[in-house]
Amino acid sequence: KNQVEQSPQSLIILEGKNCTLQCNYTVSPFSNLRWYKQDTGRGPVSLTIMTFSENTKSNGRYTATLDADTKQSSLHITASQLSDSASYICVVSRGGSQGNLIFGKGTKLSVKP
Amino acid sequence: NAGVTQTPKFQVLKTGQSMTLQCAQDMNHNSMYWYRQDPGMGLRLIYYSASEGTTDKGEVPNGYNVSRLNKREFSLRLESAAPSQTSVYFCASKGGGTGGYTFGSGTRLTVV
């Protein structure tokens, strides 16, 4: 079954600290993996996209990693800010026909002052 | 650029009523999608349109219909709303290749 599992479900950290969010997937065939940030009451916004051959991709303070062998990805946030408080969603795209995105349930991150 | 615009942002319906959710994109994307997001679940695909003039069912199409009016607009219709359709609905569009998906800001629908 095609699934994307994220952990932890929720996380609270202090401003300025780093954190790492995890994503495990069982999706076949694999095309690419995306991380999205979703602020409360808003639509998801893309942070990174990685294909099979890419191990690391950065977008400012966000760094995503991908291990296609173990089917794991992580999103590392450096020097967190209050504005990082949001849900972070891991999305795996299946190869083949359109519309084949498998969404994780997200990790809800709260950054406290 | 406005990106993906959804209307309305909020709606309350009575069971059995009908309504249409509107979505428009100004990025000249070929593909457009409708998702629903429920608490504790990942986004689920309702319908999608790979190009103007085509539509296909996604994972949860029952109770919905769609229209790809032109390249810019993709509407979602609930013919007879049910409480199980209470959800947040997101429209998205995608450019070619591995381009990212752009999401609208959502429509929060409550069916009572």
User: Which of A 18-57 lie inside 8 A of B, CB atoms?
Assistant: 31-32, 34, 41-46, 49, 51
Cα separation, A86 vs A109, in Å, equals: 5
Cα separation, B24 vs B13, in Å, equals: 22
Residue A98 is nearest to which of B4, B40, B48, comparing CB atoms? B48
How many CB contacts within 8 angstroms connect chain A with chain B?
51
Nearest chain B alpha carbon to A44? B103
**Contact in structure between B30 and B95 (CB atoms under 8 Å):** yes
Is the pLDDT assigned to residue B2 strictly greater than 80? Answer: no
Give contacts of B31 with chain A, Cβ < 8 Å.
98
For B28, residues 6+ apart whose C-beta sits below 8 A from its C-beta are: B71, B95
pLDDT in tens, chain A (113 residues): 889 999 999 999 999 999 999 999 998 888 899 999 999 999 999 999 898 889 999 999 999 999 999 999 999 999 999 999 999 999 999 877 666 889 999 999 999 99
